[in-house]
Amino acid sequence: MSNASVLDLNPSQPAEKPFTPLVRQFLDYLRFEKHFSDYTVKSYGADLLQFAQFLSGEIGRGARAGGATEAPKAPMTPAQVDDAQVKCEPLTIREFLAYLYAQNYTKSTTARKLATLRSFYKFLIRRGMVSVNPLSTIRTPKQEKRLPKCLDLEQVQKLLEAPGDADILSARDKAMLEVLYSSGIRVSELVELEAADLDLQEGVLRVKGKGRKDRLTPIGSQAIKALQRYFELRNSGTGQPITGRVFLNKHGEALSTRSVRRKLDKYLVAAGLDPGISPHTLRHSFATHLLNNGADLRSVQELLGHQSLSTTQIYTHLTTSRMKEAYDAAHPRATAPTIPHPASPTATPSRPFYPAKAG
């Protein structure tokens, strides 16, 4: 397996700071054995590159109180960094956490970096390179519980109408937004859609989810109509069937997730909506609106491609009023008159009420 296989995932990475051999093995394992997406592998690689820089003294550990720094040391070779990673102790991990805290990293980012290190050291233990996990005594910072943003139906309507479909680029953007809201798929799944994954006759998409796990998800008539309009303009009367990636940029190349975000930002301004809305907000809105209209949690879990039901449950907080209505309508005692406490003045017990004795 070539070492370049993972290095090529990040062409912007400086040549003087390559991944160490152990990290390359780990990233290849994630990509080729665990089938993680390229984006996820890049994120793991960036976290491990930062940790390697910390171990080698390039960042963090050379700083002294008062802003002074130690004299620069000779740079460590990749083999020396790997040796430091293998011999890493819990105290070093705590020092790394202190560095992240000093750099004002959020708890969620710190938790993600810790999760990367946990996975890396589990890999090293399975390979027999490390006997004790240095993170076994390290706690992940407690996360703030943030509720997902969700658009209401009127806001969704404004957003979906913003692009129009007069030309091929606006028709493409409308189709993208319609598919995101209609199916609830992730942006990374949207940009990887191929023409062969669409069955517009049946109204179904085949989605390549996390871990390369495919799933089928339906799309509605408005999304189908938007896709048909986009394909009509893209085809330009050639009569040739659409092949390859569904959503292309103006140069005929596959769109990136960043490009989708830029397009969304443009239409948020046009529709007068909160510029803080992300493409993932459409996924949140999809799930919440389904639950509000009677879909069961298991079905929504399947549609979203969540492995754990607990992940899907974050959307239930937005459906409290609907659940309360269902409870009031279904529970036999939900609307029964309140039964007065025996000690209350309105109570008329058949026998005297005696309070319990203390002790």
Average pLDDT (101-124) is 94
Question: Which range is least confidently modeled, 48-62, 178-192, 270-284, 323-337?
Answer: 323-337
Residue 282 near residue 150, CB atoms below 8 Å: no
Percent of the chain at pLDDT exceeding 90: 48
Question: Which range is least confidently modeled, 178-182, 292-296, 323-327?
Answer: 323-327
What 270-277 contacts at long range (C-beta under 8 Å, 24+ apart), as own/partner pairs, is 270/162, 271/155, 271/158, 271/159, 271/161, 271/162, 272/158, 273/151, 273/155, 273/158, 273/159, 274/149, 276/149, 277/149, 277/151
* Sequence-ordered strand ranges (E) for the chain: 198-199, 204-208, 214-218
pLDDT bracket for residue 305 (50, 70, 90)? confident
pLDDT digits (tens, 9 = 90+) for 196-216: 999 999 999 998 877 667 888
The distance in angstroms from the start CA to the end CA of the chain is 74
pLDDT bracket for residue 8 (50, 70, 90)? very low
Q: Which residues are catalytic?
A: 186, 210, 280, 283, 306, 315
Predicted TM-score (pTM) of this structure: 0.62
Distance, CA of 327 to CA of 318 (rounded, Å): 16
63 forms beta bridges with: 69
**Residue of 308 and 34 predicted with greater confidence:** 34
Q: What's the confidence (pLDDT) of residue 289?
A: 87
Q: Count CB neighbours of 91 within 10 A.
A: 9
Question: Which range is least confidently modeled, 21-25, 234-238, 283-287?
Answer: 234-238
pLDDT of residue 357 exceeding 60? no
The answer for 57, left when phi > 0, alpha when psi is -120 to 50, beta otherwise, is left
Percent of the chain at pLDDT exceeding 70: 75
pLDDT digits (tens, 9 = 90+) for 42-86: 999 999 999 999 999 999 865 433 444 455 567 889 999 999 999
CATH top-level class of 153-322: mainly alpha
Residue 220 near residue 203, CB atoms below 8 Å: yes
Q: Count CB neighbours of 116 within 10 A.
A: 19
Q: What's the confidence (pLDDT) of residue 329?
A: 73
pLDDT digits (tens, 9 = 90+) for 266-297: 999 999 999 888 888 898 888 888 888 888 77
Each domain of the chain, given as residue ranges in start order, spans: 4-126, 153-322
